[in-house]
Structure 1
């Protein structure tokens, strides 16, 4: 409509006859619309998208011929005997010059609108692909998170089973701690981001469970460096590394020492470190298991090319350092 009104004003001013311009544009514009939409919704998908370029050119030229004949006859019969009033001299219908001008007009309209349509389609398709990628990313993250939870509960129930076999008085405390952790996993861990304080409390509850199992054989310390108030982190991202301390360290040592630290670096990065004692002679399975593989994949999805993960072995200590961007409020 904007283009139609613009053409009426433009040619009305040129001819100093707005009524004539309205009638002329009503014919030429309507036919131009038919030509454009016929190309966009029939010729283009039928031939161009199927890479039948020769057939497209043939049918497009035939369409231009029909467009020219209908346009010329309607102008001649309904509007003006002079089918090309813009020319400096009187022009007859079906002359070479007139055919070239009308063909170029049709091609111009088709090229302009097809470009707009393809651009709009490209923007829509790009957004659709981005939305699909987000859905796929969320689905994969949810799947990976779901893997972590059974993995953790499996280990904890094994611990509880060992305590019940020993008829340990610590078993009821384990059940209570496990209940608290289940509440965290079933509710808080469903969110994409949670408070770092909650994650640390969750880890502390896990450490309490392990201390109930191993007693004085476990020594653990958790340090927080810098201000972490308002810091958000993906849930269940640190726990697998803490679990591995007990999975690979406790079974090889009478005494297990676990040191955990969280450090805020310039309010931009969060550095997580965990270090535990272990026996290097029995470390063949350190690279296996759901935990490390799972977290590595989650890190790649959450922080593509924007995280740093390192493992080192120093004497009888196994060290992990993870650096991720900080999420503020």
Structure 2
């Protein structure tokens, strides 16, 4: 049976269910087994005496382990991480010297009087022997420490990414939650206006609003929604506004392309629609015109909406925001929910029209 690459990596690297890299006892056994076998063959081949190599490596092996673990589990956490570098250096050198004395005496009394055959006939604790032995121990300690630091860094980096992901998810949920109350606030204002006028259209508005509420209750808690349902929601909203403005509003809406099987962040387009009505239709004097083009080509949604700029509003005072949320909400949701390469948003004024163009991967 061939394991999937991700599963195989997790087994080899020792990643647990939470995604952390976990060094367990098996990794320790494998590492030290490979290390001691490598050194036995290395020194055995160098001295042409594998019996001597086995004895010296079996004696040195526990010393390597003791110094390495003493460094990564005691000295570093207690002194390096607390920035007590002088104390750490002193204790590191002291531990190396103790290891040197233990190794020299064990080799001298249990293996051979010649404790360093590669350097000639060395039968006493010389400076050269001390330097070479301590550097050898330091090499092993450094190698083990590098592995430990790398694993710790991977775990910290993994936790940091997970924390950032949770923060982004929380913020995105908050932004989506802002849409619904804001949307209902505007629609209820519309109903209030109709009730003041004792309009017969008020019941139709309430019915449409109930349909929108049903959609919002079951759609906005999901990361993505079917594009067809999102368009249906937009059409319901436009129907509400048609009832409100009657013949004074002209809406040109064109929908084309293959909409099936396409997904979009829920209520992502609605602030653009609301913005056109709030800053176009509701503040215009005379005829009100809104044009909406929605086209899907392959997996790209081309959404364009434009409205004539209110004659009573100058260019400098037009603010493309909806209750302080609107377009800024959409921009933030795009940043959090999509990769930069997956969307392009343009907002501009041209020929007395306020225009929004959004190209989005769906």
If the TM-score is normalised by the length of the shorter chain, which range does it land in? Answer: 0.7 to 0.9
Per-residue deviation, residues 7-47 of structure 1 (Å, max 9, x unmatched) = 24752654787776555434322221121122112222333
Of 113, 118, 127, the residue aligned with 2:158 is 127
Tell me how far 1:268 sits from its aligned partner: 5.0
Of 176, 192, 195, the residue aligned with 1:145 is 176
Q: Secondary structure at the match of 1:236?
A: coil
- Against the structure 1 CA distance between its residues 290 and 278, is the aligned structure 2 distance closer, same or farther, given a 3 Å change threshold? same
Of 274, 290, 314, the residue aligned with 1:258 is 290
- Against the structure 1 CA distance between its residues 298 and 252, is the aligned structure 2 distance closer, same or farther, given a 3 Å change threshold? same
Aligned residue for 1:2?
A: 30
Q: Secondary structure at the match of 1:87?
A: helix
Counterpart-to-counterpart distance in 2, 1:90 and 1:206: 95
- Against the structure 1 CA distance between its residues 112 and 83, is the aligned structure 2 distance closer, same or farther, given a 3 Å change threshold? farther
Of 88, 108, 119, the residue aligned with 1:56 is 88
Counterpart-to-counterpart distance in 2, 1:3 and 1:60: 23
Q: Quick check: 1:8–1:18 contact (8 Å CA) kept in 2?
A: no
Counterpart-to-counterpart distance in 1, 2:31 and 2:276: 71
Q: Quick check: 2:230–2:267 contact (8 Å CA) kept in 1?
A: yes
* Normalised TM-score (structure 2): 0.80
Q: Secondary structure at the match of 1:264?
A: strand
- Against the structure 1 CA distance between its residues 93 and 215, is the aligned structure 2 distance closer, same or farther, given a 3 Å change threshold? farther
- Against the structure 1 CA distance between its residues 294 and 87, is the aligned structure 2 distance closer, same or farther, given a 3 Å change threshold? same
Counterpart-to-counterpart distance in 1, 2:142 and 2:311: 71
Tell me how far 1:150 sits from its aligned partner: 0.9
Of 314, 319, 323, the residue aligned with 2:355 is 319
Counterpart-to-counterpart distance in 2, 1:119 and 1:260: 54
Counterpart-to-counterpart distance in 2, 1:5 and 1:305: 48
Q: Quick check: 2:291–2:307 contact (8 Å CA) kept in 1?
A: yes
Tell me how far 1:280 sits from its aligned partner: 3.9
Q: Does 1:287 align with 2:320?
A: yes
Of 194, 199, 215, the residue aligned with 2:246 is 215
Q: Does 1:249 align with 2:280?
A: yes
Q: Quick check: 1:280–1:316 contact (8 Å CA) kept in 2?
A: no
Q: Does 1:170 align with 2:201?
A: yes
Equivalent residue runs for 1:15-54 within 5 Å: 24-54=56-86
- Against the structure 1 CA distance between its residues 21 and 218, is the aligned structure 2 distance closer, same or farther, given a 3 Å change threshold? same
Counterpart-to-counterpart distance in 2, 1:20 and 1:184: 80
Per-residue deviation, residues 196-238 of structure 1 (Å, max 9, x unmatched) = 1111111111111111222222232322243233222111111
Of 67, 70, 76, the residue aligned with 2:99 is 67
Aligned residue for 2:26?
A: none
Q: Quick check: 1:240–1:291 contact (8 Å CA) kept in 2?
A: yes
Per-residue deviation, residues 173-206 of structure 1 (Å, max 9, x unmatched) = 2222212212222221211112211111111111
Of 151, 154, 167, the residue aligned with 2:185 is 154
Aligned residue for 2:211?
A: 180
Per-residue deviation, residues 251-289 of structure 1 (Å, max 9, x unmatched) = 223432222112334x35322111122314325252343
- Against the structure 1 CA distance between its residues 93 and 229, is the aligned structure 2 distance closer, same or farther, given a 3 Å change threshold? farther
* Number of equivalences: 324
Unmatched tracts of structure 1, length 5 or more: none
Tell me how far 1:138 sits from its aligned partner: 0.9
Aligned residue for 1:271?
A: 302
Greater Cα offset, 142-151 or 17-26: 17-26
Q: Quick check: 1:4–1:25 contact (8 Å CA) kept in 2?
A: no
Q: Does 1:235 align with 2:266?
A: yes
Q: Quick check: 2:225–2:264 contact (8 Å CA) kept in 1?
A: yes
Of 93, 109, 130, the residue aligned with 1:99 is 130
